[in-house]
Amino acid sequence: MIKELEKQIADTRAKLFEKLATLKNKKDILKSTELKSLYDEMKVIPNDHKASYGKLLNDLKNELTEASNEDNAGVDLEPIDVTAPADFNISLKDFPELLSSEKGSKNPITAEIDLLLDIFKTLGFSSIESPEIDNDYNMFSSLNFPEGHPARDDWDTFLTHEKDSKNKPFIAPAHTSTMQHRVLVSERAELEKGKPIAYVIPGRVFRNEDVDARHEHTFYQLEGIYVGKDITVANLLNILKVMFSKYFGKDIELKVQPFYFPFTEPSFELAVSCPFCDKKGCSVCSRSGWIELLGCGMVHPNVLEQAGINPAIYTGFAWGVGINRLVMIKYGIDEIRHFMTGNLEFLEQF
């Protein structure tokens, strides 16, 4: 009988090694039904043959284990620096698609943010990006929004289910002013040494708005803040006049009217002379000659005090402008949703 058992194991061995060659995970051969069937034979063969059969079976299993380990073993390779420049020995003629004249470009929002930051850099401003998740303190309390103040409701703010250490929900910021307090605190020591605080803060903001051609729930904003000694509204208007004149490439006039923001006092709405018709009236400015662009004002004394800055010694100004709106005006874009769609027909214009 042992000869028959030896033949059965030999025949099964040949099948198992043939199957091993087809397996992706070679270890699976040790769980195969063929091997399991051989082990099941141990239950029915006579006791005087079990020792011999068991040895043959164990030898086969050990052989399969060794073979599966060898086939699964990887080849040792030298580490590759994935950041190093590629050195491909290929000809571009072999890949005609790489010779296409089509090239990618920056989204117009990104391009205009870069331009605005360059302009403000020439005016002595540093820049820091706004976060996309923040807390109630930086969004409201540090900016002179009292608890329960109706102005908190004016921002149509998105709140998260997660809460901070004060059991307040985290917020998807509705304005890049959320960085104001951090900037004032971090630069306070330099201010006391005589260096003014001058920062612009680009970032993505979120508001629970009804979406249409001119309103979007997600858009980009540029915050600006300047604090020093003897800073006045005249300084604010001069900075904005220079910025808009550089941005539109021509002399721009400004017009302000009183407004209300909790974090500035006095506060203003600012309009610029239409760069396309020079105040004669056109479709861009709705025939008025002026385009309303942003809110601004002098930093509220309470905001300075929250940051540990003495408002009796230091004053400053701040503003916030919607970058999407700037780009729409500059390029005559009539649909704000184009910026978020990835529409190539739209993006290829830039």
| Predicted TM-score of the model (pTM) | 0.67
- At 1 the pLDDT is 63
DSSP helix/strand/coil, 15: helix
The beta strand positions in the chain, using DSSP E, are 126-127, 158-163, 169-172, 197-206, 218-228, 254-261, 264-273, 290-299, 315-322
Q: What is the mean pLDDT of the chain?
A: 83
pLDDT-derived band at 90, boundaries 50, 70, 90: low
pLDDT-derived band at 299, boundaries 50, 70, 90: very high
Cα–Cα distance between 65 and 68 in angstroms, integer?
Answer: 5
Pairing of strands 254-261, 158-163: unpaired
Output the six-digit token pair for 262.
Answer: 């909790």
pLDDT-derived band at 344, boundaries 50, 70, 90: confident
Mean pLDDT confidence for 338-344: 74
- Those residues whose C-beta lies under 8 Å from the C-beta of residue 187, and which sit 6 or more positions away, are 195, 197, 199
The amino acid present at 176, given as its one-letter code, is T
Over its C-alpha atoms, the chain yields an Rg (Å, rounded) of 35
Mean pLDDT confidence for 217-222: 86
Residues forming a β-bridge with 70: none
Structure-model confidence comparison of residues 255 and 78, the more confident one: 255
Cα–Cα distance between 221 and 270 in angstroms, integer?
Answer: 15
pLDDT-derived band at 94, boundaries 50, 70, 90: low
DSSP helix/strand/coil, 134: strand
Residues 79-88: tens digit of each pLDDT? 667 677 665 5
Cα–Cα distance between 76 and 327 in angstroms, integer?
Answer: 53
- At 99 the pLDDT is 57
CA distance to 86, 89, 107, 231, 331, per residue, from 104 (Å)? 20, 25, 9, 44, 19
- At 87 the pLDDT is 57
- DSSP code per residue over 204-244: EEE-----BTTB-SEEEEEEEEEEESS--HHHHHHHHHHHH
Query: Cβ(140)–Cβ(152) under 8 Å?
Result: yes
CB atoms within 10 A of CB 125: 19
DSSP helix/strand/coil, 274: coil
The amino acid present at 40, given as its one-letter code, is D
Residues 226-266: tens digit of each pLDDT? 999 999 999 999 999 999 999 988 899 999 999 999 999 99
Domains and CATH numbers, the chain: 2-72 (no CATH), 108-347 (3.30.930.10)
